[in-house]
Every structure is written in structure tokens, then in C-alpha cells.
Structure 1
């Protein structure tokens, strides 16, 4: 069976920048956009031009600097928004206007004080107006996750007739369970006339920690584009993490999906985004966290030293990390200690390793992590004779 290509829509510069405490300069946004293009991102959502003059300028400059990726600008379903969005992206080689409106009962009643008929009318009008500027128009049904499937299907059918080329089904509040979100996508695929003419897109938030899972179930059920951010940054608890969804598809051939992402660049792009946004990457973050390929448990360390596949389902090099790391802590065993000494060019026989290990534990109980410098201090404290070494490639002080 032929693999299905899933497009990656990165919204780090739009939804990602909405994270509190983050404010990117235009030059920084351009640098990130260029890196995203090099990474292989299909669509770069450059910003929300009407939100501020600074954002407008950033979107426009990004549009001038990107050649291969689609450059997308967000707008509300208002002519003024769409005009400004177009003026910001009109220099792009591949421009896209992303317009839409809330479709859930919560949004219709409390946000717009409106009704379903009026919402459909606004949606149709917005897509038709955006279509005057560019062929590529994406429509978002905000809070689709909490929108009744039948009404959502009606909205989708109307905007398809109006000229939408992509339809975004956001789980705006991170409300859906994966099975539920997948069923929603499947319902649209089976019940919307003309759905084969458009690309269905996922846009999942992480309020309940389910953004990546929901996006995965979305593509399993027929979505062909995933909207996501580097490091999972974004409003409130963030968005689907680009590196997570891409590596899930890469590491699981049974899914039969692939993307255009050059995964060996993931760590570098992740670090760049973290640097410019000022948002630190949590140590245990999947794929790009500092501890993603670090092992401190003795059982795990022993397994990894023997064969990395015992505790690593991803080759670190596939995401741009040189190697796994064996971190020495009070939970480390003799195998890890011996391994680290070998890295320093020192091979100990069994009796000397036992002696060094007993001293090591004393140090480890008092320190978070044992460094190479401390390893040498431990070795000297053991007062080993040269006969205790099977081999040594470096000079050490022994008695």
C-alpha cells in the first residue's frame, strides 16, 4: 500500500507567539521562518496581520523571504481583516488566506450573540471574498471540537461550495478525546458533499495533554494536514508538537504516513525557537528535551550499553542529537560506571571496579550528578595500584 503524505502546517509564528511572555522581533521571525522552510514545513502561518502594525510588517517581510513553503496569514471572517491579510502576504510566491469563525454553540451564543444561519452566511461570504485575492483559501471552524457534527458538516459543505481549498477542524479548547476527534474527522469525510475537493486539517490544543494524540487520530481518519508548533508552544497549554507528530509517523511504518520534514534538523530548530521566544524546553519533553536520550537508572543504563534498542525507540541521530548520554547518579550501577570510565580511557578489573563503585555511591548520594572530574577524584581516592587496571590510555595519579 502506497504511503500517504501528510502536510505539516507550522503555526509557531502565529499561535505559538500567543504564549504569555513571548514577543518576537521581525528579524527573529524571519530567521525562524527560514529555518522552518529548510526543515521542510509545507505551510508557515506567519501571523495575524490585523492584530498589530508590527505583526503586519513581520508577515509581509516573511512573505518576501520564503520561496518554497506556503505563507499563510490568519484573519477573522471580516472584509477588513481579509484585506489586511492579503496585503501582508501578497508578495509570497505561495500565499494563503486563513479565515474563519466559531461554530460551536458556545461561540455562537456567547461570543457572537448570533444564530447558526447567520454564522453560515458569514462563513460563506468570508471565503468568497478571500477567494478574490488568492486561489488558496483555508477556512477554520473555531471550536469545531465542541461543535455538533451535523452542523459542522453543513458549514463545511457551504464553504467548499464557496471556494475553500482547506478546511481546518480545530479542537480549540483541547476538549476532545482522540477517538472522538477521529470520529469527527471520519464523519466529515463520509457526510460532506465535495469533501474530496479539499484538504481536511487538524489543529489541536493541549489543554488535557491530548493534542498530539488527537492530531494522530485525525490523520488516521482522513485528515491530510496537521497544524502544529515547534516545542508544542502556543495559547494556554500549547498546541500539537511538530516534532512529536512527525516522529510518531516516521517511527511507526504501520501508520503508512510520511511527511516532508528533515527530522535531523529538529533539535536545532527547537533550540532556535526556544532561544528567541524565551520559552525553555522542559527537560523531559519528548524528542527535543534535554533528557529525551539520557539514562540514569542502572537497569536502563545496563540495557542501553548492551544494545540501545532496549530502551530507545528513536535513534538520537534521527532528530539531530549526536548520541545518547549515560548520566551517573545514585541510581546508576556498575555497568554504567565502567562504561563512563572506558570513555575516559580507563578499564578497571572486577575487584577494582567494586572498590571504586563503593566510593562512587558515597559521592552520588551527596550530588545530583557525577561528572568526569569527580570520576577522576574517586579513582584517586580508591588508591588503586597499576595492576588493578587492565588498560589505561591516559595518565592518572595512582599509588
Structure 2
């Protein structure tokens, strides 16, 4: 039996503590907040998109940073294993668009309550409102942790599951990176990911609040690589957001630190240009926006026409102006000049280098008996339940390995 200390009571930390406790270890879970799962509570707008039901091979393709590192953890505790874990507590789930999985009652609190029950069942001691300040290392051996006010807790093994730097109000402030760097770990540069994008074009702010479904967004994210995604978009005063933009941001965030990036948006990917031309001229004596409102939001079309400075009826429209309207619908170019701050990012890009972690156990290759789980590691998936599954899977593997 080992004395195991888990730092951070998010999904990765809770499942790690549960599994370590099940293996008859003496486990202490330290959480800096007054409650467990503070970030988990707000994920998915409080509905908790817990995982995704894609086959594991396809699932791994949705992990865009260091997905090979996750083979052992994801296969050790799959999406099906995760749901089975909760179903034993009579928790029911539903599968929605894009194979996203939510609790049947849309309540993240139900997920947290099950985890808390399992922590109690596994005899895990939970300490609240204590900040982790350092590792306790004596004679080059890990002996426990140091908390605020120089309080020490002795232990044989430590699991770090503090999260990254996104949503800092939930406790994931990123302070742990300085501690780990001091002890020899490499911390890859931190970027906001799954984050709204800021655009240069000022007229876009007039579209604030306009949302559109199933638009296609295309961009180059390196010299020879292009990304194309389809999903929902929402215009904001600073630029653009919505699921498809958040996912695109994961490919553009590093590049945007150095230069502007162009994106192209097709607002009607399932409607050809010829068909749009017919719709524009469908009722020749009506306003153009009245004809186009059958395929696009009225306020969007009005703003596009205003931006193009076109105030004509279809029977007055020349071919050049018609082409400009169609291009604004099918090939609107916007210039991204940055991302919103990491405070608005869903996940952190960057973190502890996976080269310094044993992917089969989640143990540090730098410090014996130190383990990692969750977003604190340089691993990152798209939206859709992938990042929560990463947290649970890496936490599970760390927990059974201590």
C-alpha cells in the first residue's frame, strides 16, 4: 500500500483518486476550491458533454496534439468504459448531434455527485481550500507535497491533475508549470485553444448576435496545410465564435501569435452559386434581401448588402454586383488578427512535454513516483467531448499505475 497524493479535484484528479483508492492505497485529494469539479460543473453550458461515441480510432483523430501519446490511456479507459462507470450509479445518457454524449437530465452536477460517492467509497480523504505550492523532495526522492503556509503532507506518490490555464476562475491558474519547470520538466509554450477569433474587418461588429448553422470555414494553418471544417458560427463584436470557429482556432492559435491569418467562409455549402443567382432574381421587383431570406438570416443579408453598398432591386442588378453578393455568401474572406484571451479558452494548448511522461503509466521520466493527468499535459482535442474523455482516461491510467 502506498500513500498517494492527488493535486486537483477536476475530472482527471477525481477519477485518479478513485482508482488509486480502489487499489487499497491511502489516498489524499487536495483541492484549492471549496468544491470539487468546479470547471466540470460549467462545461457544456452546465450540461456536461462528457464524451463522444465515435469509434476509438476515429476518436483519436479528433485529438490534434500528441494523439499517439494517448493510445494507452484511451484504450485503457474508453468512452464505453467511462459510460459504464456512471451507469452503475443508474445515471442515464443521451447521444446528440455529432455523437456528443450528455447526461439524460442535462445536469453536470449528477456527474460530480457520482464521482464524490465513488471517492467516499474508495476511502479517499478530500482536503479543500488548500493551495499546492511545491513538491517535497529530499535526497533526490519525492517525499510528498508542500502546501501554502509551508504545510507539508508526506506521501510516496503524487499525481498532478491541476488543469491548464483556461477558465482561471475555476482554479486552473497555471502556477503548477513554474513548480514543475523548477524541478526539471519542460513546459511547452502555452496558447489559448478552442477560443473565439478576433477579426480585422470592423463592419463585422454590426452582425453581433447573428448565428448560422452548418457553414464551411477554410484556412491555411501552415505553409502547405489547409484546414476545412463545417459547423455553427456566431458573430460577436470582436469577430467570430461558435463551434466551428473554436475548432478552427486550435489550428490557427500558434500562427496568430506571429501574423494575421485569412479564413474563407461559405455560408451555404449545400447551395451552388447558380442556385443563389436564381434566388436573388426570383422576384424581380422585391428587395434582394427579401429573396435571399429564404436561405439566409435577414439581418445578415441586409448587412452584407450594406457592406457591398448595393441598394438595388433584382431587375436593376448588373452581373458584377450579383457576383459580389454571391462571393460574399460563398467565399467571404475575413482577416483573423488574434484570439481572445486564455480566460475565454475552453482548453489550454501547451503544457508538460509528453516526451517526459511514460504514456503507459503517466509517470514522469524526470521525477520517480510523480504522475500527471488531464489538461496540465500538452494534449488537446477538438470540441465534442474529447477533452473530457482525455481527462478521465489519463486520470484512470495514472490512478491504476500508482
TM over 0.5: no
Q: TM-score, normalised by structure 2?
A: 0.26
Larger Rg computed on CA atoms: 1
Q: Which has the higher contact order (CA 8 A, sep 6+)?
A: 2
Q: TM-score, normalised by structure 1?
A: 0.26
Higher strand residue share? 2
Higher helix residue share? 1
